[in-house]
């Protein structure tokens, strides 16, 4: 599976995302569509970006009873996205149902990636609010192993965790990693960041990059810089 840069298109309208994508004339970046854009514009935004020739990671982080997730995943599969995700906290049974729902009659399906613990959940909040007493990194690795056991393709994690995830779940188990910044760029609200080159060195399979590209003075140049550092 080839390494790739996924551009987090965290825009709130079709107009804004299309204006951004219009800047790319020579390449077709892999696009991440999140809840904000999807809920604002509906499934048609996925079809339209797909028709322009982009691969799509639909980041909706599903979590519900297995039957509901299975049926929802079957709808997303019909949208012909390339990658989508769910919360591993929904249990192995929910993740297995998601794989079933996502699988098309011909046996193909989009990649399915699990969110382990959100990066906004600290160890303290996990212990005090969720009553999970284990260390955060142990929980993350356990949820990753659950995702692998359920037949998922990988997890969203920090590039700093990619090595650990690969050694626990196998080198083919994908690590999709946000928190990427250029060495000379703004960190913004991300806490633990790595450069695209460092993410490559740490073994990330995909990096998810938003503002360093979307808010750059020259987004195409910033995208190319990411690709050359990460893919080489
Ligand atoms: O703009 P920035 O590069 O920080 O965007 C990163 C993207 O990855 C955003 O869409 C953000 O929601 C997502 N993400 C993240 N950290 C996670 C999971 C997802 O930054 N743990």
| Residue pLDDT, tens place only, 144-202 | 999 999 999 999 999 999 999 999 999 999 999 999 999 999 888 888 899 999 999 99
Ligand 1 atom with minimal separation from the 181 CA: 3
* Nearest protein Cα to ligand 1, atom 13: 178
Q: Is the CB of 157 under 6 A from ligand 1?
A: no
Average pLDDT, the chain: 96
- Our answer on whether the CB atom of 9 is closer than 6 Å to any ligand 1 atom is no
pLDDT at residue 1, as a whole number: 61
What ligand 1 atom has the least distance to the C-alpha of 8? 10
Ligand 1 binding pocket includes 34 (Cβ within 6 Å):
yes
Q: Is the Cβ atom of 178 under 6 angstroms away from ligand 1?
A: yes
pLDDT at 48 (0 to 100): 98
Once rounded to an integer, what is the mean pLDDT over residues 207-230?
Answer: 98
* Neighbouring C-beta atoms of residue 95, cutoff 10 Å: 26
Distances (CA, A) of 174 to 2, 18, 207: 11, 29, 11
Note the pTM of the prediction, 2 decimals.
0.96
Indicate the burial class of 187 (C-beta count within 10 angstroms; 0-12, 13-18, 19 or more).
Answer: exposed
Answer yes or no: is the C-beta of 156 below 6 A from any ligand 1 atom: yes
Known active-site residue 61: yes
How many CA atoms lie within 13 Å of 172's alpha carbon, on the beta-carbon side? 5
Is pLDDT of 5 > 70? Answer: yes
Please tell me the distance from the alpha carbon of residue 82 to that of residue 105, in angstroms, as a whole number: 16
Q: What is the DSSP letter of 161?
A: G
Q: Hey, whose CA ends up nearest to atom 10 of ligand 1?
A: 8
């Amino acid at each position: 599976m080839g390494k790739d840069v996924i551009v987090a298109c965290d825009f709130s309208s079709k107009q804004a995302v299309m204006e951004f994508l219009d800047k790319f004339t020579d390449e077709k970046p892999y696009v991440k569509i999140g809840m904000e854009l999807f809920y604002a514009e509906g499934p048609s935004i996925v079809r339209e970006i797909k028709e322009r020739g982009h691969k799509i990671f639909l980041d909706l982080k599903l979590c519900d009873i297995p039957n509901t997730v299975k049926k929802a995943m079957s709808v997303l599969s019909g949208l012909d996205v390339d990658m989508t995700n769910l919360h591993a906290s929904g249990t192995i049974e929910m993740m297995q149902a998601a794989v079933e729902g996502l699988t098309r009659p011909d046996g193909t399906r989009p990649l399915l990636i699990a969110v382990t613990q959100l990066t906004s959940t600290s160890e303290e909040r996990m212990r005090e609010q969720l009553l999970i007493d284990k260390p955060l990194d142990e929980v993350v690795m356990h949820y990753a192993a659950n995702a692998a056991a359920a037949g998922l393709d990988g997890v969203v994690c920090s590039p700093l965790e990619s090595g650990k995830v690969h050694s626990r779940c196998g080198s083919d188990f994908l690590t999709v990693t946000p928190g990427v910044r250029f060495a000379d760029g703004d960190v913004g609200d991300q806490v633990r960041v790595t450069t695209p080159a460092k993410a490559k060195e740490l073994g990330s399979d995909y990096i998810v990059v938003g503002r360093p590209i979307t808010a750059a003075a020259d987004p195409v140049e910033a995208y190319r810089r990411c690709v050359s550092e990460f893919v080489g």
